[in-house]
């Protein structure tokens, strides 16, 4: 019998969430029943999309339930197994995050082959955020030779991979992020024109100076003024992959208005929203490409790590304050 601490949704946030919306609770985890495994989580992820699940609204994933542990990606180690498919010591990936340990049917977790990468990479550049960048650039934005690429939220988990994939493929990359430390990170990963949007009174002007001949692809993580700058800087036929609009996630109404959308007509732009889970068919190609890029030393990861399950709400809230450089993670063991 183990004790596991977990984070539950205590109340639904209105606007920006706060610590009061979460509560820490402890539960007993019995020995695994036949067919089950018992897992101790090593790492869990917090991601901006989770904000949407805190609302009681129909969306592409169902809302979190009040009084229950939150869910999300995690990597852990099997500590006891009552199923032949897994044994103690196996690393597994699951959607049972926001808790220290759990029992689950063996089929509900996925054995993790790390191929020499650290396990937490599979919550970041080698996992869902990495696949999101890959899908967004290659399928949604239909990246092609010569495209000039603008990435917002460029120092984040998805954005930093998007920038690196675009550089690997030989593109000129403009990346925006907030603050000098993030801009330095963007230089480190090869971004040609890092923009500190917090230091720019005129973001549109900054993007247009960075891309005097315009942008062909925009990878959208932020929304608002970033989208407006991209519309202004876009070339004829530019493609926008709409991945996230973190600036709107805590809005209590319909978010800030985006002006200049009429430019999409004169410029024949294509704007496509996407959810990575609809593109799981690209996982195998992504894993192959990623292995090559890692082997060639072309993929750098940066992580911002908080420690202990009790810090998970703080890690999540930090996403909306721009506290994370690269992937925000919580180390549980």
8 A C-beta contact, residue 55 and residue 12: yes
Burial pattern 74-108, b for ≥16 Cβ within 10 A else e, equals bbbbbbbbbbeebeeebbbbbebbbbbbbbbebee
The site map against a second copy for 119-158 (x = CB under 8 A) is ----------------------------------------
The site map against a second copy for 277-316 (x = CB under 8 A) is -x--------------------------------------
The site map against a second copy for 171-210 (x = CB under 8 A) is ----------------------------------------
Pairwise CA distance, residues 320 & 74, whole Å: 21
Among 127, 153, 175, 223, binds a second copy (CB under 8 A): 223
Among 256, 282, 287, 291, binds a second copy (CB under 8 A): 256
**Contacting range for a second copy; rule: CB under 8 A; set: 22-30, 62-70, 115-123, 272-280:** 272-280
Q: Which residue has the tokens 């690196």?
A: 164
The verdict on 260 binding a second copy (CB under 8 A) reads yes
Query: Helix or strand or coil: residue 295?
Result: helix
Pairwise CA distance, residues 132 & 150, whole Å: 16
Among 33, 56, 60, 310, binds a second copy (CB under 8 A): 60
Q: How far is the CB of 216 from a second copy (least distance, A)?
A: 15
**Contacting range for a second copy; rule: CB under 8 A; set: 106-114, 148-156, 237-245, 318-326:** 237-245
Q: How far is the CB of 220 from a second copy (least distance, A)?
A: 8
| Both structure tokens of 44 | 């869990």
Task: List phi, psi (to 5°) of 50.
Answer: -65, -25
| 203-211: long-range pairs with CB below 8 Å, 24+ | 203/176, 203/228, 203/229, 204/228, 204/229, 204/232, 204/233, 206/176, 207/150, 207/174, 207/176, 207/232, 207/233, 208/232, 208/233, 210/174, 211/148, 211/150, 211/172, 211/174
Among 10, 169, 198, 272, binds a second copy (CB under 8 A): 272
Among 19, 26, 261, 333, binds a second copy (CB under 8 A): 261
Q: How far is the CB of 231 from a second copy (least distance, A)?
A: 8
Among 3, 18, 59, 65, binds a second copy (CB under 8 A): 59
Angle made by CA atoms 98, 99, 104, in degrees to the nearest 5: 110
| Residue closer to a second copy, measured from CB, 96 or 150 | 150
| Both structure tokens of 260 | 């200049």
Pairwise CA distance, residues 160 & 189, whole Å: 8
| Residue closer to a second copy, measured from CB, 177 or 246 | 246
Q: How far is the CB of 275 from a second copy (least distance, A)?
A: 6
Question: Site residues (CB under 8 A) for a second copy?
Answer: 52, 59-60, 223, 227-228, 236, 242-245, 248-249, 253-275, 278
């Amino acid at each position: 019998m183990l004790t596991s601490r977990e984070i539950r949704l205590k109340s639904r946030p209105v606007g920006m969430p706060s610590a009061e919306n979460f509560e820490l609770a402890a539960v007993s985890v019995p020995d695994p029943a036949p067919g089950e495994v018992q897992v101790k989580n090593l790492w869990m992820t917090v991601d901006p999309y989770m904000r949407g699940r805190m609302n009681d609204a129909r969306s592409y994933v169902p809302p979190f339930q009040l009084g229950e542990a939150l869910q999300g990606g995690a990597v852990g180690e099997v500590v006891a197994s009552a199923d032949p498919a897994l044994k103690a010591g196996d690393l597994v990936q699951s959607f049972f995050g926001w808790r220290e340990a759990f029992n689950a049917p063996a089929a509900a977790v996925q054995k993790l082959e790390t191929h020499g990468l650290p396990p937490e990479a599979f919550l970041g550049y080698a996992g869902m955020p990495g696949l999101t960048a890959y899908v967004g650039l290659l399928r949604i934005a239909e990246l092609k030779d010569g495209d000039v690429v603008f990435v917002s939220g460029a120092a984040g988990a998805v954005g930093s991979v998007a920038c690196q994939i675009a550089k690997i493929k030989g593109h000129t990359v403009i990346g925006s992020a907030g603050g000098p430390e993030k801009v330095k990170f963007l230089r480190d990963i090869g971004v040609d024109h890092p923009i500190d949007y917090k230091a720019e009174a005129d973001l549109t002007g900054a993007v247009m100076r960075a891309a005097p001949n315009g942008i062909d692809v925009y990878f959208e993580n932020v929304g608002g003024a970033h989208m407006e700058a991209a519309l202004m800087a876009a070339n004829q036929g530019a493609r926008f992959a709409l991945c996230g609009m973190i600036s709107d996630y805590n809005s209590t109404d319909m978010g800030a208005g985006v002006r200049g959308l009429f430019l999409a007509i004169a410029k024949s732009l294509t704007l496509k929203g996407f959810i990575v889970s609809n593109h799981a068919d690209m996982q195998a190609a992504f894993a192959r490409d990623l292995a090559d890029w890692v082997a060639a030393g072309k993929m750098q990861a940066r992580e911002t790590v908080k420690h202990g399950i009790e810090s998970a709400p703080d890690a999540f809230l930090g996403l909306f304050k721009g506290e994370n450089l690269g992937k925000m993670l919580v180390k549980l063991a």
